Amino acid sequence: MSRRQSLHGQWSSRLAFVLAATGAAVGLGNIWKFPYMTGANGGGAFVLIYLACVLAIGLPVFMAEAMLGRRGRRNPINAMRLLSEEESGGTWWQLVGWMGVLAGILILSYYSVIAGWTFSYTIDTVRGVFVGADSATVTDHFSALMASPGQLVLWHTIFIALTVYVVGRGVEQGLEKAVKYLMPALFVLLLALVAYSMTTGYFMEGLRYMFKPDFSQVTGQTVLDAMGQAFFSLSLGMGAIMAYGAYLPDDASIAETSFTVVLADTSVALLAGVAIFPIVLLNGLNPGAGPGLVFQTLPLAFGHMPGGVVFGTLFFILLIFAAWSSSIGLIEPAVARLVENHNLTRPRAAALIGVVVWVLGLLTVLSFNELSHVTFLAGSIFDNLDFLTSNILLPLGGLLIAVFAGWVMCKSSTVDELEMGIGFRYGIWRFLTRFVAPLALVVIFLNATGMLGLLRSTNA
Ligand code: TRP
């Protein structure tokens, strides 16, 4: 039984943890990123690989992360150091926490820019800009926004300010209240959007696009993208779930809460895809259009459905809240560390991290306009930030977390903390955590970097 106390207080209940973790998980990753990643990777096969990654790697790592967090009851860096001492691992395990803090800061730097797009679209929807619009108008509208660094910086700034405000207020009042009613509302609106998609006449095409796999298109890169997306969408691999787990009541079931969050997150992503692809196909848009896809698609739906102005406005506002509840999770590890180790007050720590993130975010803003010609490795500056975080830092963090929970921690500690006995469900968790997740992660990494091919050719 773990009976440590967190310095930052605790969730008032198990439900509060589920809501907060769902708030972190459900965000732009589900509604903005999942559809365009699916489109860029050709549809069905990507979705299936994504689902396999969520189940075989995402769920066990999610449980592992929540478990480490609750056992350590500290920020990810300190939790990893403490647990590693207890389990006689090396002090370098705290690097997992440092990597997570870094990943969170880097992700938020571009995340808040994209969240800024949502502000701009909320206002344009209210103003009726999209009423009756055709796909050319909507696509031009997006390009015009991208071409305006001033606008992008303005919204980016507002979003960071909102994030800093909530994180500064602390666990109980801040994080918890923000998500209680808004996630269910977003879910309902998505269902309504799916219902609208059913009326387009392209619903079956959309479903076929999303679920009919064409494995001939699949490369090592597709699999890495799918796994990176699973980590990103579930908020895994960077200590955020560890930080939230640190506030989890002692008697809450980690398996059940984790399963609920993973299910909610995956449902929202799938619903977003099912809502969006019929509209993409109906309007002859390119599914591989990239990060702008959702912003070039949803306005078309809102512009043509009855009551679209009200509905669209509500939808974008809820999307802002979804992004907001994710952004607080992105800086929570860094803020908790500053509060615990450097004696800063929460508001100060949040403001300090906010400034760093804001400055970094300017790089993403400029990568869509003034610096769009600067490309290297994965593409634009934004593409590189995205690749470095989603496809490298998060899966690497996940790999280390799985290895720690599966191999370094002794079995009795995990049995004690997971509180699910040592039956069938525990057996599956342990097997996935020890073998499946680490092996899959290593193979996917090597395969994507082409090293597997290299090894094969030297062996032959
Ligand atoms: N899962 C979030 C989304 O889908 C993004 C995210 C990635 C995140 N890592 C995180 C959110 C850590 C909170 C904490 O939008």
pLDDT in tens, 27-39: 999 999 999 999 9
Compute, in angstroms, the gap from residue 203 CA to the centroid of ligand 1.
29
* 171 Cβ contact partners less than 8 Å away, ≥ 6 residues apart: 8, 9, 10, 11, 247
Three-class secondary structure of residue 10 per DSSP? coil
User: Is ligand 1 within 6 A of the CB of residue 101?
Assistant: no
Question: Percent of the chain beyond pLDDT 70?
Answer: 95
Ligand 1 atom nearest the C-alpha of 27 is 15
Instruction: Check residue 217 and give its pLDDT.
Output: 85
What are the residue boundaries of the structural domains of the chain, listed by start?
Answer: 14-459
- The predicted model scores a pTM of 0.95
Length of the chain in terms of residues written: 460
Compute, in angstroms, the gap from residue 230 CA to the centroid of ligand 1.
10
Ligand 1 atom nearest the C-alpha of 234 is 1
End-to-end alpha carbon distance in the chain: 52
Beta carbons within 10 angstroms of residue 88's beta carbon: 8
The per-residue pLDDT for range 344-355, each reduced to its tens digit, is 999 999 999 999
Question: Percent of the chain beyond pLDDT 90?
Answer: 82
Q: 94-126 and 293-304 are packed helices; what angle lies between their axes, rounded to 10 degrees?
A: 30
Average pLDDT over residues 85-107: 96
Does residue 383 surpass a pLDDT of 90?
Answer: yes
Instruction: Check residue 40 and give its pLDDT.
Output: 95
User: Is ligand 1 within 6 A of the CB of residue 27?
Assistant: yes
| Integer angstrom CA distances of residue 180 from 15, 166, 249, 398 | 9, 14, 18, 28
Average pLDDT over residues 391-404: 97
CA atoms within 13 A on the CB side of 51: 13
Compute, in angstroms, the gap from residue 326 CA to the centroid of ligand 1.
5
Amino acid at 397: G
The per-residue pLDDT for range 272-325, each reduced to its tens digit, is 999 999 999 999 999 999 999 999 999 999 999 999 999 999 999 999 989 998
Question: Pocket of ligand 1, candidates 159, 163, 330, 353: which has the most ligand atoms within 8 Å of its Cβ, to mutate?
Answer: 330
H helix intervals, 2-58 = 14-25, 28, 34-40, 44-53
Rounded to a whole number, what is the largest CA-CA distance in the chain? 65
pLDDT band of 251, cuts 50, 70, 90: confident
Ligand 1 atom nearest the C-alpha of 30 is 4
Amino acid at 37: M
Does residue 6 surpass a pLDDT of 60?
Answer: yes
Compute, in angstroms, the gap from residue 268 CA to the centroid of ligand 1.
14
How far out from the chain centre does Cα 20 lie? 13
Average pLDDT over residues 414-428: 95
Compute, in angstroms, the gap from residue 428 CA to the centroid of ligand 1.
26
Radius of gyration of the chain (CA): 21
The per-residue pLDDT for range 438-459, each reduced to its tens digit, is 999 999 988 877 766 666 666 5
Rounded CA separation 130/298 (Å): 10
Instruction: Check residue 8 and give its pLDDT.
Output: 75
Instruction: Check residue 1 and give its pLDDT.
Output: 47
Instruction: Check residue 176 and give its pLDDT.
Output: 61
User: Is ligand 1 within 6 A of the CB of residue 25?
Assistant: yes
Instruction: Check residue 247 and give its pLDDT.
Output: 85
User: Is ligand 1 within 6 A of the CB of residue 232?
Assistant: yes
User: Is ligand 1 within 6 A of the CB of residue 133?
Assistant: no
Beta carbons within 10 angstroms of residue 181's beta carbon: 11
Compute, in angstroms, the gap from residue 399 CA to the centroid of ligand 1.
17
Question: Pocket of ligand 1, candidates 318, 326, 327: which has the most ligand atoms within 8 Å of its Cβ, to mutate?
Answer: 326
Ligand 1 atom nearest the C-alpha of 29 is 4
Residue nearest atom 9 of ligand 1, based on CA coordinates: 235
Instruction: Check residue 166 and give its pLDDT.
Output: 87
| Integer angstrom CA distances of residue 288 from 6, 116, 118, 216, 391 | 45, 22, 20, 17, 19
Instruction: Check residue 174 and give its pLDDT.
Output: 53
Compute, in angstroms, the gap from residue 306 CA to the centroid of ligand 1.
33
H helix intervals, 212-307 = 220-234, 240-245, 254-282, 293-304
Does residue 65 surpass a pLDDT of 60?
Answer: yes
CATH of region 14-459, choose from 1.10.1060, 1.10.287, 1.20.1740, 1.20.1070: 1.20.1740
Average pLDDT over residues 64-91: 95
Does residue 332 surpass a pLDDT of 60?
Answer: yes
Rounded CA separation 166/176 (Å): 10
User: Is ligand 1 within 6 A of the CB of residue 396?
Assistant: no
Instruction: Check residue 177 and give its pLDDT.
Output: 66
User: Is ligand 1 within 6 A of the CB of residue 240?
Assistant: yes
Instruction: Enter the DSSP assignment of 379.
Output: B
CA-nearest of 402, 422, 401, 400 to 411 is 422
Compute, in angstroms, the gap from residue 22 CA to the centroid of ligand 1.
10
